Amino acid sequence: MIAENATEELTRLRSSIDNIDAALIHLLAERFKCTQQVGALKARTGMPPADKSREQAQVARLRALAADAGLDPVFAEKFLAFVIAEVIHHHERLAEARAAD
Ligand SMILES: O=C(O)C(=O)C[C@]1(C(=O)O)C=C[C@@H](O)C=C1
């Protein structure tokens, strides 16, 4: 039988996880609002969707931040790559829509 205090502790920890997940979703939503504006600017002015030198700087910065914070830098890099790949898709769609106008 699972001790009652273990169940309570699990419930308390899950409550914090739910709050953190909510914060992550809100932060991601704000980031995508910002990158939508970057995508519109790039489409309007003919800049390419991706900027590999900017991405290299972001990877170096986030890997260092992750290491300082006790988070696996490999995971941080994968997470950033996942997010940026989605942003580039959005930028490409905006550029295509602009070209079709
Ligand atoms: O900073 C830019 O130029 C962006 O388009 C934003 C962003 C990002 O999501 O951070 C996305 C694509 C680029 O390759 C680099 C960075």
- Overall number of domains in the chain: 1
Let me know how many helices (H) and strands (E) the chain has, helices first: 3, 0
Both tokens of residue 15?
Answer: 């409550």
Residue 50: what are its φ and ψ, rounded to 5°?
Answer: -100, 150
pLDDT level of residue 1 (50, 70, 90 thresholds): low
Q: CA angle at residue 59 from 54 to 64, to 5 degrees?
A: 130
Q: Domain range holding 57? A: 4-100
Q: What is the pLDDT of residues 28-80, one digit of tens each?
A: 999 999 999 999 999 999 999 999 999 999 999 999 999 999 999 999 999 99
Residue 84 sits in a domain whose CATH number is 1.20.59.10
Q: Whose CA is nearest to atom 12 of ligand 1?
A: 50
Distance 13 CA to ligand 1 centre (A): 34
Q: Whose CA is nearest to atom 9 of ligand 1?
A: 84
